[in-house]
Amino acid sequence: MTAPDAVLVQLWAQHIAQTDAPIRQALTALGQHHSAQLADAFYRAMLADPQAGALLTHDDVNTRLHSSMQRWITQTLGSWDTAQVPALVALQRHIGQVHARINVGMELVVRGARQLKHDIVQTLLRTDMDTAQVLRTAMAAHELIDLALEAMTIQYKESRDLATRTDEAYRSLASSVNMSLERERQRTALLDWQSQFLQKVMMMHPDDEVTRLGQSSFGLWVQHKANAFNGSSDERESILSAMRRIDADLLPRCEDELTGQTDELGRQTARHVLTEVQQIRYFTDSMFEHLVDMESGRDALTQLLNRRYLPAVLGRELELSRRSGHPFSLMLVDVDHFKHINDHYGHSCGDRALQHLAALLSNTARSGDFVFRFGGEEFIIVSVEMPALQALHEAEKIRKAVENDPVLLPEGRQLHMTVSIGVATYDGHPDYQHLIEQADQALYAAKSEGRNRVVPSQRPQPT
């Protein structure tokens, strides 16, 4: 038990000892008979804030949190056994951790608690207690709520501090990637888009539509990964502004003019597009000039991102998805019968198999996607701006690629392996752990159904 927890346990136990039996009975009854109305009051106060409203409108969260709040009220006001106090403190810690994970600020929780205290007093005033009894009972209830809030706040601060350190470490890792190689990769991606654009301009048909730069490999990288390298730099903001001008204004105009047989106007607009691309190339080079050229902090065996950076990435993608409305997907990939591979071929061959799969996943993922070694023989791909059906299609391509690409072993031997993949798509739930759990359940289903298959977390209902 930590020192802060020990202090809280002692204070909570002292409060129980100092509370007489009639007050205990009154608060226990209050929790049992009025928990629903008190939970309503708590969430009414919280949801008045637009920030909380955006986080807590998901039906699943709403339903589960309301029932959880009722249990919390009943438990907090009705637990008078000092032996239960360590468990009560641990519960408040867990709640604070969840609040930190889904980014519900403690100021919102305190606001809801203030309304809860007010409604407790109003409820007590409607009983047949005299004023002195109401006062003593309300003070006892307020003390319990304050003790719970103190435990939540301690955990919330610890969790947020850890998340901040992890995010900083991820930025440090991102900055230590081989920037010369990354710069050439993004230059090539931008050049590829420019070549495709010019080809479309030269051969424009009425039904043709130019791929938006923001949806290209380069555009996805800028939106989802470049900010990790150097935060919200001026260069990145300039690139984003130029991309928006191209996608929202210049490309639609160019398409309309070319398909409307006003070729000269269309080609003038195309030249404006190329001017913007030239500016993007300049700002991209300038951005990379600020970054270091070194490798560190990746998974030692596979050179993929370490799982410690997964919360930082998922937290950022949740926020981007909420703002943009574009869903993203998560694939949980597991090597089938990996224990047999280690037992039969040896651990060195098992390591080679994991390196082979890591390389395949990295080559398959788009420039803006994130590939992690999740642990052991499990890998995670965070596929940005990818809806459910596309994610299933991409996961199936990965499954087939693994099946058809054997691992080369010493002495000319080959290892044929397969993978099972669980796929989950962000559905608005504010806790990234929910998305991981959905993918994990889908992976478990894939294993149960025979392995070497892709299973989505939400299957179509039979008609």
pLDDT of 273-311, one tens digit each? 999 999 999 888 877 775 543 344 478 788 888 888 898
33, 62: one domain? yes
141, 184: one domain? no
In whole angstroms, give the CA distance from residue 158 to residue 356.
38
In-domain check, residue 280: yes
204, 103: one domain? no
204, 77: one domain? no
347, 447: one domain? yes
CB 330 within 8 A of CB 436: yes
CATH number for the domain that contains residue 447: 3.30.70.270
Among all residues, which ones are annotated catalytic? Answer: 377
104, 214: one domain? no
Domain boundary among 140, 172, 204: 172
In whole angstroms, give the CA distance from residue 410 to residue 219.
41
Q: Pick from 296, 298, 322, 294: which is nearest to 308 by CA? A: 298
- CA distance to 249, 297, 318, 447, per residue, from 451 (Å): 48, 32, 30, 4
21, 151: one domain? yes
334 phi/psi in degrees, rounded to 5: -130, 135
Residue range of the domain that includes 214: 179-289
pLDDT of res. 463: 41
Domain boundary among 113, 147, 172: 172
Binned at pLDDT 50, 70 and 90, residue 207 comes out as: low
What domain count does the chain have? 3
CB 47 within 8 A of CB 53: yes
State which amino acid sits at residue 129: M
258, 374: one domain? no
In-domain check, residue 428: yes
360, 436: one domain? yes
- Averaged pLDDT of the chain: 86
DSSP character at residue 178: B
State which amino acid sits at residue 54: A
In-domain check, residue 295: no
In-domain check, residue 413: yes
* Three-state DSSP state, 150: helix
In whole angstroms, give the CA distance from residue 247 to residue 255.
11
277, 321: one domain? no
In-domain check, residue 92: yes
State which amino acid sits at residue 246: I
* pTM higher than the cut 0.95: no
CATH number for the domain that contains residue 147: 1.10.490.10
226, 328: one domain? no
Half-sphere exposure of residue 106: CA atoms within 13 angstroms, side-chain side: 20
pLDDT of res. 181: 79
Residue 162 has pLDDT above 70, yes or no: yes
In-domain check, residue 442: yes
pLDDT of res. 373: 93
**pLDDT > 90 fraction of the chain, expressed in percent and rounded:** 51
Domain boundary among 121, 150, 172: 172
225, 136: one domain? no
pLDDT of 62-117, one tens digit each? 667 778 889 999 999 999 999 999 999 999 999 888 888 877 788 888 888 999 99
